[in-house]
Structure 1
Amino acid sequence: MAKVFLDENFLLQTKTAEILYHEYAKDMPIIDYHNHLPPDQILNDINFNNLSHAWLHGDHYKWRAMRANGVNEAYCTGDKTDFEKFEKWAETVPNTMRNPLYHWSHLELKGYFGISEILNASSGKKIYEDASAKLSTKDYTVRNLLKMMNVKTVCTTDDPLDSLEHHIAYHKELTQNPKNTEVAMLPAFRPDKFILIDNPNFASYLQKLSTIVGFEIKDYASLQKALKSRADFFAANGAKVSDHGLEEIYADDFTEEQADTILKKVLSGQTITNTEASLFKSAILHFLGTMYSELGWIQQFHLGALRNNNKRAMRLLGPDTGWDSIGDWSQAKALSKFLGKLDEFDQLSKTIIYNLNPADNELMATMIGNFNDGSVAGKVQWGSGWWFLDQKDGMEKQINTLSNMGLLSRFVGMLTDSRSFLSFPRHEYFRRILCNIYGNDIENGELPNDLPFIGKTIQNICYNNAKEYFGF
């Protein structure tokens, strides 16, 4: 007999997996240590206008699926009404079967709104109305959506140019109310625009940074000083994490004099070569790594995305609208050299590396072992499957590869990497997959039937490891 879709034992194939999930994993809190949630919306505790506003605004995953289903751009990023856009999404959903969007969408409807009905063109209107009605109430503000999923901490992704005014105001609000049990919101430092010197806007970014720090950035030394000033400001306002979204790690041999010469060429309006650009990126990335070590921060590197492939769409719609894919850079040598140079002088902070190309799974799983020096359990981590890989197959491969080549027990677990406040059932998805893997191994006799020990291991992966690793 076929199992019921999305019942309480969804993705759990054995009785042991069911026990592990329901008795150990299900109720663990969430630390979402990397996402793109808007801090102002958390501060202002907004309500969404409707389900389309919460679900479709800015969600390039859904836009890609709609485009593939033949939906006109007007219903994705265009000027159609929210309900018209939702209708097209509802028509698309049945065609997403076996895409993670099908599972995520129904997990979100069930988890937040108690809606178990299958979403399609026929059910779309009622689901839209029921969910939208709830979203308008005080129980469905964004803070309550986070608390609904037992989220304890979120780390947003923030530009060094950011004033952090929303973080500062939010922290002040929480500290003034000692009985408050709200979600902690911390900033994360994302300085990529000051690494990518070949970006046409690089000089204008430096000018903005100069204005904020109050002195002219005229050479490499003053750029370092400015970035350190901003990092200190972030640290003073709760930051413990940095993040980078790069195609690859840059680790060319360099001198600071060379980096200075290259930067001055750009500041004077001259063109630099690809070799010069790579050298500068290598220099500033190493500097940032040493700075993170001094601050005691965790550094994160998301590697391998080939962004903005469709130039026409980039021109018309801008970045982050769903035209990115997996890239195929050679990652091993530069990553080894970058981490090794920091480690050589004991300047390698806790590090999490994420890869977008699944061909690099074993590479990443073995690379982290080169720099786990015994000072901290799981000091260098291979991060969870992300973006195109945060689906069932991608998570299973990441879990199995890490198990084979490292210590899954020390893994800091899942994150959303999302702009959506409705994306937190991805943690549930991960936890069900994790428990199913352990459950299958126990029932196959590949692991001992020691549920208290394995259950504790699962709880560590779901929450405790991250809590200890990040110090939240």
Structure 2
Amino acid sequence: MTTNPSTWAHDPDRLFAAEPRQRELARHLYEGVAELPLVCPHGHVPPRLLADPDATLGTPAELFVIPDHYVTRMLYSQGVSLASLGVPTRDGSSVETDHREIWRRFAAHFYLFRGTPTGLWLKDELVRVFGVTKPLNADTADAIYDELTEKLAEPEYRPRALFKRFHIEVLCTTDAATDTLAEHRSLQREGWTNVRPTFRPDAVVNLDAEGWRENLDRLGEVSGLEVTDYRRFVAALEARRTFFKALGATATDHAAETPHTERLSDREADAIFQRALAGESSAEDAARFTAHMLLEMARMSAEDGLVMQLHVGSLRNHNRAVFARFGPDRGADIPLQTEWTRSLRALLNAHGSDPAFRLVVFTLDESTYSRELAPLAGHYPALRLGPPWWFFDSVKGIERFLDAVVETAGVYNLAGFNDDTRAFASIPARHDVWRRTVCNWLAGETLRGVLDESEAAELAHELTYGLARRTYRLA
């Protein structure tokens, strides 16, 4: 399917309401925040992209297609194989290696992204970052591939140059607890202190994580502690948190199927840990240990000040065949129904009123926004609501989120915005969608008499900049 090859350009009022008064006010609010620096407190950009001053973003296929599960999952849903898109396999079996051919397949199916946030981001990247002026389709694929290839070879399109062009104030990566942070140390030696690590211990905390025993051995190596029991395990994690914090980390990140928290005695925790060491732990053991360790991570955050992030509600690797051949993060992680009120009670009763502790929660179950999360955040001083995540970081998803939580939790119990992306060049596009949608929502609330214009302008600044800086202790 192709489109008429007319000039490709952005509507300056995109994402604003059709109603003239709301559109005019949304535009005015947006103009007040459009050029603010980008605060990126959570994401998955690999630090090596910035640690190496000569690094490039690769080919157009490497930049836009192969690593991006937002892209590949949509194409896969329409019968385009992951192998034909160059996605590497676990067993080394053959996949498409001609990047121009991969790009052609992507371009021929670009129409699939119409009406999606991915389509908005991709068009914004192509138009605003790379200056593409023709719609992407089968007819224009080769010409645009050549144009992008030329630009990606130029110094101004290297990651460090784009970092400055994007006006990124701070960017936080997500790093395994066992990471040596060599790239971050290199960046800091060069004065790049605005690229910070984030401590993510899932691979050693979740006993059912793939390669758990090897990950645990690595934890012992990098911490300098032989991890032979639960007590030493906790000590090794605390040592690694101290190491991360010394290199600028202000946050941790934790993923779990449920937010259930449950305190185990040290004896119970060690018994489960010993069964895991012996390869004899059960699914129940793993679930109880994760629930206990979320409490332990909260205890550590209350002590060391690292902001705790909790991403909950994804059934990972739902497509077993795709996972077996291509591994994780290939677009087959599917949302689950989630319960928060009872699940977080142990954690919030222990630390929810502690001024030293901060917890930012993210969900894939929108039904919990108004029923559970907004009331919880509207009570516990330590709790902040993360922005719409993953499938819901969209125009309608942002609007639904604000409609559901602000009346109960207010704006100041929200965490602002984070782009949560692996796709470095998409960062400005994601922030722009958030900023435009927030300003349009605030304009609507103003015209309804809920806010006055000065309040809306202040809240636009908070939602797009101030809240994220303060929530993640980056101010």
Partner of 1:429: 433
Counterpart of 1:462, as a letter, is T
Q: Look up the match of 2:292.
A: 283
Return the letter of the residue paired with 1:403: V
Q: Which moved more, 1:32-41 or 1:281-290?
A: 281-290
Q: Residue 44 in 1 paired to residue 30 in 2?
A: no
**Correspondence for 2:367 among 356, 359, 369:** 359
User: What do residues 407-441 of structure 1 show as CA deviations (whole Å, max 9, x unaligned)?
Assistant: 12453322111111111110000000001111223
Q: 1:265 matched to which residue of 2? A: 275
Normalised to the residue count of structure 2, the TM-score between the two structures is 0.90
Alignment of 1:241-320 (within 5 A): 241-269=251-279, 271-320=280-329
Deviations 1:48-76 (A, max 9, x none): 23222211131011001111222232322
Query: 134, 152, 167: which one pairs with 2:184?
Result: 167
Equivalent position SS for 1:353:
strand
Secondary structure of the structure 2 residue equivalent to 1:408: coil
CA shift at 1:455, angstroms? Answer: 1.4
Matched positions, count: 451
Give per-residue Cα distances to partners, 1:28-55, cap 9 Å, x unaligned. Answer: 1111011111111111131123222211
| % identity of equivalent residues | 26
Q: Distance in 2 between matches of 1:246 and 1:336?
A: 16
List, as ranges, runs of 4+ consecutive aligned residues in structure 1 with deviation greater than 6 Å: none
My pick for the range that moved more, 439-448 or 100-109, is: 439-448
**In the alignment, what sits opposite 1:400?**
403
Aligned to 1:68: 77
1:419 corresponds to 2:436: no
Between 27-36 and 95-104, report the one with greater CA deviation.
Answer: 95-104
Q: For residue 451 of structure 2, what is the aligned residue in structure 1?
A: 447
Q: Give the whole-Å Cα distance in 2 for the aligned partners of 1:356 and 1:432.
A: 22
1:298 Cα deviation from its structure 2 partner: 0.7
> More displaced, 198-207 or 379-388?
198-207
Q: Does 1:92 align with 2:102?
A: no
Cα distance change, pair 274–70 in 1 and its aligned pair in 2 (3 A): closer
When the two chains are superposed, the root-mean-square deviation of aligned CA atoms in Å is 1.9
The letter for the 1-side match of 2:387 is: S
Distance 1:275 1:67 in 2: 34
Hey, what's the Cα distance between the residues in 1 that align with 2:359 and 2:261?
16
What secondary structure is seen at the aligned counterpart in 2 of 1:354? strand
Work out whether residues 145 and 421 of structure 1, in 8 Å CA contact, stay in contact via their aligned partners in 2.
no
Counterpart in the other structure of 1:178: none
CA distance in 1, matches of 2:376, 2:346: 11
Contact 1:435/1:458 (8 A) holds in 2: yes
The aligned runs of 1:128-139 (5 Å cut-off) are 128-139=145-156
Among 154, 175, 180, the alignment partner of 2:171 is 154
Q: Which residue of 2 aligns with 1:461?
A: 463
* Contact persistence 2:338–2:368 (CA under 8 A): no
Q: TM-score, normalised by structure 1?
A: 0.91
Alpha-carbon contact 2:9-2:127 (below 8 Å) kept: no
Q: Distance in 1 between matches of 2:450 and 2:217?
A: 59
Could you tell me which residue of structure 1 aligns to residue 157 of structure 2? 140
Question: More displaced, 50-59 or 349-358?
Answer: 50-59
Letter matched to residue 459 of structure 1? H
Cα distance in 1 between the residues matched to 2:458 and 2:378: 24
What is the CA–CA distance in structure 1 between the aligned matches of 2:277 and 2:450, rounded to whole Å? 61
**Whole-angstrom distance in 2 between the partners of 1:47 and 1:82:** 16
Is the alpha carbon distance of 1:275 and 1:315 closer, same or farther for their aligned partners in structure 2, counting shifts above 3 Å? closer
Tell me the amino acid that sits aligned with residue 431 of structure 1.
R
In the TM superposition, what whole-angstrom CA distance separates every residue of 1:360-411 from its partner, at most 9, and x where no partner exists?
2222222222312xxxxxx421111111111111111112222121112453
Question: Which residue, 190, 196, 206 being the options, matches 1:186?
Answer: 196
Is the alpha carbon distance of 1:343 and 1:73 closer, same or farther for their aligned partners in structure 2, counting shifts above 3 Å? closer
**Partner in structure 2 of residue 222 of structure 1:** 232
Q: Is the 8 A contact 1:255 1:283 kept in 2?
A: no
Cα distance in 2, alignment partners of residues 347 and 453 from structure 1 = 27
In structure 2, the partner of 1:471 is: 473
Unaligned runs of 5+ in 1: 175-181, 373-378
- Taking the aligned partners of 2:263 and 2:186, their CA distance within structure 1 comes to 43
Aligned residues of 1:51 and 1:132 also touching (Cα < 8 A): yes
Separation (CA, whole Å) in 2 of partners of 1:200 and 1:470: 30
